[in-house]
Structure 1
Amino acid sequence: MSAEQHDVVVVGGGQAGLSVSRLLVDAGVDHVVLERDTIVHNWADARWDSFCLVTPNWQCRLPGYHYAGADPDGFMVGKEVVEWLAGYAASFDPPVREHTAVTSVRAHADGRGFDVETSERSITAGQVVAATGGYHTPRIPRVGEHLPEHVVQVHSSAYRNSAQLPPGPVLVVGTGQSGAQIAEDLALAGRDVHLAVGAAPRFARRYRGRDVIAWMHDTGHYDKPVTDKPVAERTQDRTNHYVTGRDGGHDIDLRAFARDGMTLHGRLLGVQAGHVHFAPDLAANLDAADAVYNGINELVDDYVVAHALDTPSGPSRYEPVWAPPDAGDAPLPAADLAAVVWATGFVRDYRWLHAPVFDGAGHPVHLRGVTPVPGLSFIGLPWLHTWGSGRFAGLERDARHVVAELLAAR
C-alpha cells in the first residue's frame, strides 16, 4: 500500500501549528496537521488551576484571529485561553489529525521531500514544519531520588492546586514564571512554603501608569532579533522573567514573600544525611533579579524623557523589603517536608526528527525557523526570531515568515 501524500506536514497542533495551518489554508496548500494528543491540550492539561497569562490579552494575535474581547489589558485565565484557541481552530477548520503521534521524520536522500512515520500510517511530504515548541519532557532532577519515600513529588506541569498535596511544608524548586507563581498559589492557600531561588530575573507589572509589557512594546525592545543580541545571550534556555497576571496582574516580589512568612533558600544542591542542602547564593540571586527590575524601569524612564511623554512619575529603583539573614542558609530536614514541586523546566526531545540540524546543545540550527535542510522548518521556539517568538506576541510574524519561505521554495 502506497504512503499517503501531502505537500506539507505540520507536526504539532498547538497555537504554532494552527497558525501555520491557517496561512496554508489561505494559500490553498495541501497539508495535514499531526497532533499526538488533542489540539492545544497543553493549555488544558498542563496548567495549574489558577494559571493565567503573564502577557496582556492584546498581545494574543494569531494569523487572522486577534483578541477582540472586552479586557485587552487583562490576562486570560487558563480556561479562557483554551476557549480562545478553540475558537481559532473553529474559525477555519484546520486539517488536524488528533491522537496521531509522529514517530519518525527522515529527509529523502535526493533532498526532495520527507518520509513521515506516525502511529497510524506512513506519509510522504514535500515539506515539514516542526511545531512542537521547545518544552517537551518535564525535567526532574535525580536528587529527588534521595528524598524520603513519604515526600510527594510533582513537576510543575502536573501541579493543579494545594489540595493535591498532603498537609505539611512544601518545597518549590525553581523561580521562573511557574515556580514563582506556584509558590504564591501555595502561600495564598495558607501552606508552609519553602522556595529554592534560582537566577531568574524579574520585572515590574506596571510602571509609570502602564503595563511594562506595553512600554517594552513601544520601545521596540521585544522586536529586536536574536541575531542582534550578544552571542552569550543567544540561547533558548534563558529563564523568563517572573511576574503574574493573577487577580488583574501584579509584581512577584520574593522578598515580600519572605517578609510575609515564606522561607527562601538558595539553589538546591542536594540531599545528604537526611537534609536538603542549598547553595549560599540567595542574596546574590535576589540582588540580580532586582537589578534587572531596576534596569527595565530605567529603560522606561529614558524612553519617557526622550519622547517628552506626560506620565506619572515614580521611583525607578526597587527598595528591598527584606534581606537574607547574615547567618546563611541552614539545611532543611528532608523528613519535615510533605511535598516537593519541581519547577525545573523541560528537556528537548527531537528523537523523532532525523536531520542534521542540531547543535551540540541539541538546539535546532535555523534562521528565523528555516533550517539548512531544504523543506524543513521550525515554528514556536523561544527566540526563534525575537523575544515574542514562542509566545502569542510574536507568533503571527514568525508564522508568516516561515510560510512565505515554504511557498517560495515550492
Structure 2
Amino acid sequence: MTSSLKSHYSAVIIGGGQAGLSASHYLKKHGIDHIVFEKKTVAHKWKDERWDAFCLVTPNWQCQLPDHPYDGDDPHGFMVKDQILAYVDRFVKKVDAPVLEGTAVTSVEKTGDAFRVETSAGTVTADSVVLATSLYSRPAIPRAAERLPENILQLHTADYRNPGQLPEGAVIVVGSGQSGCQIAEDLHLAGRKVHMVTGNAPRCARFYRGRDVVDWLADVGQYDITVAHDGMSKKKHDTNHYLTGRDGGRDIDLRKFALEGMSLYGRMQGVASGRMLFEPNLKANLDGADQVYNGINALIDRHIAANGIDAPPASVYVPLWEPESEPAELDLEAEGVTSVIWATGFHPDWSYVGLPIFDGTGYPIQRRGVTGIDGVYVLGLPWLWTWGSGRFLAVGRDAEHIVDHLARYIEVSRQIPRQAAGR
C-alpha cells in the first residue's frame, strides 16, 4: 500500500480488484514503477457486494491468480464466501501492490507523449494506463422501480445479504442470471414465498456423466476458445449460465422450484397501478435455458464418444414442469409482496476516460486488452480474450499479456528520444 503520490509513473492502474492486482504483480516482475488507484478498498466487491451464502460457481481448481493457485485440499469443491475472502486476502498480501485506496479517478486524457490522470488525491502523468475497473461499476436498476409502492423494500443483488434482512412477506426476484437464480434459491430454501421473473439466461448442468461439467468443458477445450474464433466476437455480451456450487454443487432448475411453490413469470414489462407486468415469454425462457443445458451435455457426449472414454450413460433433460399459462401481471398487495431484489446486472462506468477507444455501444475496442491507442490497456472484462478472462481462471494470463506488451511499448518509446538526440 502507498500513501503518497509521485508526479509521474511509467504505468497507472485504475482499479484494485483481481485484475488490477494481477497487472501490478507483472509490472513488479518487470521492474516497472506504477501506482494502483482504487476508488474504495482493494478487492472490495468480494467483501462488500456478495451475499452471505455466496460461493464459487466454478470449482476451486480454476482459481489461478498469478503465482497464487488454489492451495486448499478440495480442488473440486466450491469455496464459500469466507474462504474466497481468505484466498483473495492472501493474494493481496503476496502482491503487495502500490495501491492508493479511497482515490477516485476523475479523468484520463492524452497530453503530448504521456497521459494526464486526475484523481481525488491529485494529478499525475503516466507513460501508460491500465483500465481495470470492470463492467460492474454501477447497479443496473430499471426505471420501472420508481413506480413500485413506497412500502416495498428494494435491493440490488450487490446489497442483498440473507433472507433475514428482508421484511416478512413475499419476495420478487427480477432476473434469472447466476445471481438472481442463486438468491431466489437462497430465499426459497429459507421458506420464503418467491416470485421469480425470468429472462433469457442459459443454464448448465453441475455434474454430468460422472464428473463436474466444468471439468469436461476444460478437457474439451472450451476455456481456451478465444473471441478471435468465428462467431465468438459477440460472447462478451452473453449472460452467464446459471447453476450453483452450494452444498457441494448442484443444478438450478426453476421448473423444480415451481413444483415446490415458487411462482415464475416472463420478462418484466413494467410496473403500473400496484402491479408488475410481464411479457408472455416464460415458456420460451425456460425452454431456451434447457436447450443450452442439453446442448452442453451433447457436446460432452461427442467428446466422450470421440475419445472412447468410459463414463456413465448419456441422458437428456426432460422438463419437470410446464407453465399452464403466461401470467400477464402480479398484484403486489394481493400477493403480499414486501420486497423486490433487482438481479438486473450492472452498468460499466467509463465516464472518466477521455480517450477514443470505445465502440458505438460504449464498449472498449481492444484485442486481448490492447487498445488502438498506444499505452492504453483494458483488463478484467468478461470474454476479454477467453471464457475465463474476467475470472480467477484467466485474468492472470491476460494481465501477463498486456504487461508484456506495455513493457515493450515503454522500452521502444524511451529509445526514440535517445535515438533522436544522437542524430
TM-score (norm 1): 0.96
Structure 1 segment 1-400 matched on structure 2, within 5 A:
4-108=7-111, 110=112, 112-230=113-231, 234-315=234-315, 317-325=316-324, 327-335=325-333, 336-400=336-400
* SS, match of residue 403 in structure 2: helix
* SS, match of residue 340 in structure 2: strand
Greater CA drift, 356-365 or 99-108? 99-108
Cα offset, 1:235, TM superposition: 4.6
Equivalent pair of 2:203/2:290 in contact (CA under 8 Å): yes
**CA distance in structure 2 between the aligned counterparts of 1:297 and 1:3, rounded to whole angstroms:** 54
Equivalent pair of 2:301/2:314 in contact (CA under 8 Å): no
* SS, match of residue 124 in structure 1: strand
Equivalent pair of 1:22/1:63 in contact (CA under 8 Å): yes
Cα offset, 1:400, TM superposition: 1.2
Greater CA drift, 254-263 or 99-108? 99-108
- Structure 2: which 5+ residue stretches go unaligned? 411-423
CA-based RMSD:
1.2
Q: Which runs of 4+ in 1 moved over 2 A?
A: none
* SS, match of residue 226 in structure 1: coil
1:287-338 deviation line (CA, Å, top 9, x unaligned): 00000000000000000011111112231x101111101x321421122310
1:344-380 deviation line (CA, Å, top 9, x unaligned): 0011110111100011111000011000111000000
Identical amino acids, percent of aligned pairs: 51
TM-score (norm 2): 0.93
- Structure 1: which 5+ residue stretches go unaligned? none
**CA distance in structure 2 between the aligned counterparts of 1:272 and 1:93, rounded to whole angstroms:** 52
The 1:67/1:10 distance shift into structure 2, 3 A limit, reads same
> In structure 2, what residue type is equivalent to 1:262?
M
> In structure 2, what residue type is equivalent to 1:284?
A
> In structure 2, what residue type is equivalent to 1:367?
R
**CA distance in structure 2 between the aligned counterparts of 1:73 and 1:226, rounded to whole angstroms:** 27
Equivalent pair of 2:281/2:326 in contact (CA under 8 Å): no
Cα offset, 1:253, TM superposition: 0.3
* SS, match of residue 103 in structure 1: strand
* SS, match of residue 61 in structure 2: helix
**CA distance in structure 2 between the aligned counterparts of 1:229 and 1:343, rounded to whole angstroms:** 31
1:175-206 deviation line (CA, Å, top 9, x unaligned): 00000000000001110000001000000001
1:70-108 deviation line (CA, Å, top 9, x unaligned): 111111112211111110121132111111111111112
**CA distance in structure 1 between the aligned counterparts of 2:63 and 2:6, rounded to whole angstroms:** 38
The 1:91/1:132 distance shift into structure 2, 3 A limit, reads same
* SS, match of residue 204 in structure 1: coil
* SS, match of residue 338 in structure 1: strand
Equivalent pair of 1:156/1:179 in contact (CA under 8 Å): yes
Cα offset, 1:397, TM superposition: 1.4
**CA distance in structure 2 between the aligned counterparts of 1:86 and 1:115, rounded to whole angstroms:** 31
